[in-house]
Amino acid sequence: ETGVTQSPTHLIKTRGQQVTLRCSSQSGHNTVSWYQQALGQGPQFIFQYYREEENGRGNFPPRFSGLQFPNYSSELNVNALELDDSALYLCASSKTSGSYNEQFFGPGTRLTVL
């Protein structure tokens, strides 16, 4: 149990729709990272938020956007959904300090795009 929660657990959308996924970080953590995990693959980094600002982005198009709130919780928004967006979306929280960044993952949101 990492203390990182995500909602919803599962979601079914149709192509072209928009979706918002939510994440509550572990107590004491100020950084949230989002990852996309396709079936049978390792997670791919989408972006990271630190102190309500985007702090690094992976190779994902602008229709993937996010927010971080003053309580360090976060949202991932995806516009104009495509079939290939079907995946497990993982949120990880961490405390940015020191020379490395240990990340603790939530259970994920399974998104299916039809």
Partner 1 sequence: TQLLEQSPQFLSIQEGENLTVYCNSSSVFSSLQWYRQEPGEGPVLLVTVVTGGEVKKLKRLTFQFGDARKDSSLHITAAQPGDTGLYLCAGETGGTSYGKLTFGQGTILTVHP
Selected binder of partner 1 within 7, 18, 101, 112 (CB under 8 A): 101
- Annotate 17-78 with three-state secondary structure: CCEEEEEECCCCCCEEEEEEECCCCCCEEEEEEECCEEEEECCCCCCEEEEECCCCCEEEEE
By the rule CB under 8 A, 44 interacts with partner 1: yes
Preceding omega of 61 cis (within 30 degrees of 0)? no
Selected binder of partner 1 within 11, 58, 60, 73 (CB under 8 A): 58
By the rule CB under 8 A, 33 interacts with partner 1: yes
CB of 56 to partner 1, least distance (A): 5
By the rule CB under 8 A, 66 interacts with partner 1: no
Residue 66 CA, distance from chain mean position: 8
Q: Give the binding site for partner 1 (CB under 8 A).
A: 2, 4, 6, 31, 33, 35, 40-45, 48, 50, 55-56, 58, 90, 92, 94, 96, 99-108, 110
